[in-house]
Structure 1
Amino acid sequence: MDSAKHAGDVAVAVSRAFGVDVMFTLSGGHVFPLYDGAVHENMRILDVRHEQSAVFAAEATARLTRKPGLAVLTAGPGVTNGVSGVATAHFNGSPVVVMGGRAPLSRWGSGALQELDHPPLLEPITKRSFTAASAESVAQDVATAFRTALAPHRGPVFLDFYMDHLFAQAPEPPAEALTPQDAGADGSREPDSDALAHIARLLAEAERPVLVLGSDVWMDRAEQAAREFAEEYRLPVILNGQGRGILPSGHELLVTRARGTAFGQADLVIVAGAPLDFRLGYGWFGGKEGTPLARVVHLVDAPSQIATHIQPAGAAAGDLTLVFRGLATACAAAGVSPKRYAPWLTRLAEAAAAARAGDAELLASAADPIHPMRIYGELNKVLADDAVVIGDGGDFVSYAGKYVEPERPGCWLDPGPYGCLGTGLGYAIAARLARPSSQVVLLLGDGAAGFSLMDVDTLVRHDLPVVMICGNNGMWGLEKHPMQLLYGYDVAAELRQGTRYDQVVTALGGGGELVTSPDEIGPALRRAFDSGVPYLVNVVTDPAIAYPRNTTGV
Structure 2
Amino acid sequence: MSQNYTGPNSPLITTDSYREFPPNGSVESASDDSHQLDGLENNTRIQPFLDNEIAPTLSVADATAQMLEQLGVGYAFGVAGGAMASLWCALSNSNIEVLNFRHEAGAAFAAVEAYFASDRPTVVFTTAGPGITNSLTGLFAARGEGAKVILLSACTSAPQRGRWAIQETSTDTLPSGGIFTSGALFNYAITVESGAQLPQIFRKLALALAQPGGFIAHISIPTAVQTSLVDDISLPQLDISYPAIAPHKEAIAKSLDLLSSGPFAIWVGFGARNAADEIRQLAEKTGAAVMCSPRGKGIFPEDHPQFVGVTGLGGHSSVLTYMEQKPPLHTLVLGTRLSEPTSFWSSALVPKGGFIHVDIDPQVPGVAYPHVETFSVQSDIKAYVEELLEQLPDAPAIYKPLSLPHPERKVFGSDADIDYPVRPEVLMAAIQKIIVEGSDAVVMAECGNSFTWSTHLLHFVQANRYRVSTGVGAMGHAVTGVLGAAKARNGKAVAIVGDGAMLMNNEISTAVKYKIPAIWIVLNDARYNMCHQGMKMLGLQGADASIPPTNFAMIARGMGAEAIGVVRESDIEAALEQAIASTAPFVIDVVIDPDLPAPSGARNKSLAAQGVKSSLGKSLAKPVSFPSV
Q: TM-score, normalised by structure 2?
A: 0.78
Do the aligned partners of 1:432 and 1:466 also contact (CA within 8 Å) in 2? Answer: yes
2:321 maps to 261
Contact kept in structure 2, 1:431 and 1:440, CA below 8 Å: yes
After alignment, is 296-305 or 44-53 more displaced?
Answer: 296-305
Q: Is the 8 A contact 1:7 1:33 kept in 2?
A: no
1:445 aligns with 2:509: no
Deviates more, 1:84-93 or 1:391-400: 391-400
Matches for 1:24-423 after TM superposition, within 5 Å: 24-117=77-170, 119-122=176-179, 123-145=183-205, 147-148=207-208, 151-171=211-231, 174=234, 176=236, 184-185=242-243, 189-207=245-263, 209-218=264-273, 221-256=274-309, 258-264=318-324, 265-286=327-348, 293=352, 295-309=354-368, 310=370, 311-337=372-398, 340-343=399-402, 346-348=403-405, 351-352=406-407, 355-356=408-409, 359-361=410-412, 367=418, 368-383=420-435, 384-423=438-477
Match of 2:38 in 1: none
Residues of 2 paired with 1:41 and 1:140: CA distance?
22
How far apart are 1:232 and its partner, in Å?
3.0
Residue in 2 that maps onto 1:508: 559
Per-residue CA shift, 1:405-464, capped at 9, x if unaligned?
A: 23322222222321111112331111111221x3321111111111212x1010011111
One-letter amino acid of the counterpart of residue 380, structure 2: D
Q: Compared with structure 1, are the counterparts of its residues 466 and 239 closer, same or farther at alpha carbon in structure 2 (3 Å cutoff)? A: same
User: Does the CA-based 8 Å contact 2:110-2:480 persist in structure 1?
Assistant: yes
Distance 1:307 1:107, change over 3 A: farther
Query: What RMSD over aligned residues (CA atoms) do the two structures have, in Å?
Result: 2.6
**How far did 1:149 drift?**
5.0
The answer (yes or no) to whether the contact 1:120–1:129 under 8 Å persists in 2 is no
Pick closer, same or farther for the CA change 1:172–1:389 going to 2, 3 Å.
farther
Cα separation, 1, equivalents of 2:127 and 2:74: 20
Question: What residue identity is the alignment partner of 2:367?
Answer: T
Q: 1 or 2, which has the higher helix percentage?
A: 1
- Structure 1 vs Structure 2: percent identity of aligned residues? 20
**Residue pair 2:260, 2:395 contacting (<8 A) in 1 also:** yes
Contact 2:199 2:236 in 1 (8 A): no
d(CA) in 2 for partners of 1:174, 1:333: 55
1:527 pairs with 578, 599, 615, which one?
Answer: 578
Partner SS state of residue 341, structure 1 = coil
SS of aligned partner of 1:136: helix
For the Cα contact (< 8 Å) 1:197–1:331, is it kept in 2? no
Structure 1: gaps of 5 or more residues: none
1:312-344 Cα shifts (integer Å, max 9, x gaps): 42121222221212233344444243xx1232x
Closer/same/farther in 2, CA of residues 396 and 201 from structure 1, 3 Å limit: same
8 Å contact from structure 1 (residues 145, 158) kept in 2: no
Instruction: Answer yes or no: is the 8 Å Cα contact 1:199–1:315 preserved in 2.
Output: no
Q: What SS does structure 1 have at the residue aligned with 2:76? A: strand
Matches of 1:32 and 1:155, distance apart in 2? 26
CA distance in 2, matches of 1:131, 1:363: 59
- Equivalent residue letter for 1:197: A
SS of 1:223's partner is helix
SS at match of 1:537: strand
Are 1:285 and 1:293, in contact at CA under 8 Å, matched by a contact in 2? no
> Is residue 2:519 matched to residue 1:467?
yes
User: Which secondary structure does the structure 2 equivalent of 1:205 belong to?
Assistant: coil
Tell me, in whole angstroms, the C-alpha distance in 2 between the residues paired with 1:365 and 1:299.
51
C-alpha distance in structure 1 between counterparts of 2:137 and 2:367, whole Å: 26
Q: 1:363 to 1:328 in 2, by over 3 A?
A: farther
Q: How far apart in 2 are the matches of 1:71 and 1:366?
A: 50
CA contact (8 A) 2:60 2:195 kept: yes
Q: Do the aligned partners of residues 39 and 536 (structure 1) sit closer, same or farther apart at CA in structure 2, a change above 3 Å counting?
A: closer
Aligned partners of 2:112, 2:415: CA distance in 1, in Å? Answer: 35
1:475 to partner: Cα distance: 1.0
- Asked if structure 1 preserves the Cα contact closer than 8 Å seen for 2:330 and 2:353, the reply is yes
Deviation per residue, 1:257-314 (Å, 9 max, x gap)? 53332355333222211112112325545479xxx64612221122233332415421
Separation in 2 of the partners of 1:227 and 1:68? 29
Counterpart residue identity of residue 178, structure 2: L
Tell me by how many angstroms 1:159 deviates.
2.1
Output the CA distance in 2 between the equivalents of 1:407 and 1:172: 55
User: Which aligned runs of 4 or more in structure 1 are off by greater than 6 angstroms?
Assistant: 362-366, 551-554
TM-score normalised by structure 1 residue count: 0.88
* 5+ long unaligned stretches in structure 2: 1-53, 310-315, 602-622
